[in-house]
Structure 1
Amino acid sequence: MSSTELPPVPASTVLPRVAPVRVAEGERLRSVGLPGATLTVRSRPPVREGLPPALCVHGLGGSSQNWSALMQRLEGLVDSEALDLPGFGDSPPPDDGDYSVTGHARAVIRYLDAAGRGPVHLIGNSMGGAVTTRVAAVRPDLVRTLTLVSPALPEIRVQRTAVPTALLALPGVAPLFTRLTKDWTAEQRVRGVMALCYGDPGRVTPEGFRAAVEEMERRFALPYFWDAMARSARGIVNAYTLGGQHGLWRQAERVLAPTLLVYGGRDQLVGYRMARRAARTFRDSRLLSLPEAGHVAMMEYPDLVAEAVRELLADTGELGEPAKVSDEAAGSAMADEAGTAGAGS
């Protein structure tokens, strides 16, 4: 494994059309060469030595930036990293063009094997939730605990609001959508994405919105943007249709790691009703239900998700010194869990 440090981009810098990704204060990026892929990894230097490692995996159309808020709140608890899956964020496409759930899982496994960081506290959102479920099932030696935020596990009745995303998997749809939306501005695209992914888009700060627009402009200029989106969407649809031991629900049954499930009541992409099935399926699970959250609870409610992760690690004996979580956040999380969450089997 080869690794190259990437310099941060000052917020005041005038960015070219295809610019380096934004790096928040306290973060760093590095490029990691692996067999068949090059991955960009985002990290925060650990506040002290000896913290257990954690790895975060984003969803369709996302990037490691989706985890910046949560990683900041997990300081002092874990040594956090987040990677850009092949073809997303700042990672180039995979050499073999494999964007399936298995292909993405293979990239995660290769990184963990090469980095020697396993076993890790593995955290995934949406498509990343499907990917990390597969990793935990086939390589339990690499996973201490598993946290899934709105995981993209198969649903028989898909929500109507999720259908347009699924349609990206069909041949010709991505080019058609590109032509139909060629006059849309980056701001319009970001507002559309936020309306779909957030329970309350009003929670996004002006700075957060500007950063999202900047990232949209950067990603949209990449020649492989739509190919990565379409092929990954196809990979999710294909994973939904797999049966037998390779089916995602069957693999969820095989996960040995203690599992935290986080579902949002306003999620328009993953059905809220799937939370109870997931809690029954993962053998050692607990459920955090956030009625006001959408598809990216770790971005909307990072304090509550961080507190739930802290409790998971504490209850499973994985917690060292307590993380510093605000009294207000802890109280809110306890109230929310008391009212809406229950432990799974």
Structure 2
Amino acid sequence: MSSTEQPGPRTAAPFEVPPHGRPRAEEGEDLRSVALPGLTLSVRGRPATRVGLPPALYVHGLGGSSQNWSPLMRELADTVDGEALDLPGFGHSPPPDDGDYSVSGHARAVIRHLDASGRGPVHLFGNSLGGAIATRVAAVRPDLVRTLTLVSPALPELRPQRTAVPTALLAAPGAVALYNRMTGHWTAERRTREVLALCYGDPTSVSAQDFRAAVEEYERRLTLPYFWDSLARSARGLVNAYTLGGRHGLWSQAGRVSAPTLLVYGGRDRLVSFRMARRAARTFRDSRLLALPDAGHVAMMEYPEAVAGAFRDLLGDIDTGRG
């Protein structure tokens, strides 16, 4: 598969896809608020279809929310007992008390939730920023992770794609104010179209109903007083994580992950280059790769059946001793 960069929209939205659907649980899901020391998390659950299935936890990317995982959670309800959380400052979770939006800060939030819930070890899923967070969790707390599934994980790239640059620039001081001046006349519909064009391999695959719901969610987010701050600080935290070397570097931590790992990369991803799939497959000790040529940055939303099938294959390999 070619890793040639795809041309992007002239002014790409500097963050990822808002969740499809209104701010409510889909049928079969439940939403609850979990109070932890220093933070409160909104957690979306999809109970397993039968008793005794192993627990799973899903972690979304920059600008996303727990609802990004609803399609995959639905597909895997017969395989795992799934929960997806809204990271602090995203979705329906308020900002953390300490204002820490670093990758380590988000990882601590995930760890606190797992320790408090007693659900670990879990099958841990992460997309983009959530993939970097999940990698760090798996490296520092291997006791909490059974398997690791990473969809377009945001691991450091020496030569990022041109279409990913606006997201990185969001971390720069004053970038949010500049972006708002440039796009202040944009409607929520245009903002949503820009985000979908950035994150989907085929934005036209989004139904009219889902597009309208995404616009409504975008409008809700723009009313939150901390929306831009949490976005900018999390982007800055990710960029800062890219500069760390030694044992604290994300690639170094990836090499220390002992859990069986499924890597999912899309051939049309504008934010994480497909060429990184080869390096990731070499770095994670026990890994397998699912390459989806037509997928963008959110394969779990575009191709939930394919991602679910690859995850079940991973479990099957482990059960038979081939993993």
- The question of a shared fold, defined as TM-score above 0.5 by the shorter chain, is answered with yes
What do residues 297-316 of structure 1 show as CA deviations (whole Å, max 9, x unaligned)?
00010110010111111111
Whole-angstrom distance in 2 between the partners of 1:281 and 1:238: 21
Post-superposition offset of 1:257 = 0.2
Q: How does 1:65-84 map to 2 (within 5 A)?
A: 65-84=67-86
Aligned-partner residue type, residue 82 of structure 1: A
Q: Which runs of 5+ in 1 are unaligned?
A: 1-19, 320-342
Greater relative CO (CA pairs within 8 A, separation 6+): 2
TM-score, normalized by length of structure 2? Answer: 0.92
What is the Cα-based RMSD across aligned positions, in Å?
A: 1.5
Question: In the alignment, which of 206, 216, 229 is matched to residue 214 of structure 1?
Answer: 216
What do residues 227-253 of structure 1 show as CA deviations (whole Å, max 9, x unaligned)?
011000001100110000000000000
Post-superposition offset of 1:203 = 1.3
Whole-angstrom distance in 1 between the partners of 2:149 and 2:206: 23
Identify the residue that residue 191 of structure 1 maps to in structure 2.
193
Q: How does 1:280-295 map to 2 (within 5 A)?
A: 280-295=282-297
Identify the residue that residue 226 of structure 2 maps to in structure 1.
224
Q: How does 1:1-80 map to 2 (within 5 A)?
A: 21-80=23-82
- Give yes or no for contact 2:107–2:134 (8 Å, CA) kept in 1: yes
Post-superposition offset of 1:318 = 9.3
Whole-angstrom distance in 2 between the partners of 1:219 and 1:314: 40
**1:159 and 2:166 correspond:** no
Distance of aligned partners of 1:157 and 1:115 in 2 relative to their CA distance in 1, 3 Å threshold: same
**1:308 and 2:310 correspond:** yes
- Give yes or no for contact 2:48–2:79 (8 Å, CA) kept in 1: no
Whole-angstrom distance in 2 between the partners of 1:315 and 1:78: 16
Post-superposition offset of 1:317 = 1.9
What do residues 254-289 of structure 1 show as CA deviations (whole Å, max 9, x unaligned)?
000000000000000001000000000000000000
Quick one: percent identity of the two aligned structures? 75
- Give yes or no for contact 2:57–2:125 (8 Å, CA) kept in 1: yes
Q: How does 1:192-341 map to 2 (within 5 A)?
A: 192-317=194-319
Aligned-partner residue type, residue 77 of structure 1: T
Whole-angstrom distance in 1 between the partners of 2:304 and 2:209: 17
Post-superposition offset of 1:179 = 2.3
Matched pairs, number: 302
Post-superposition offset of 1:45 = 2.1
Q: Which runs of 5+ in 2 are unaligned?
A: 1-21
TM-score, normalized by length of structure 1? Answer: 0.86
Query: Which 4+ residue blocks in structure 1 deviate beyond 4 angstroms?
Result: none
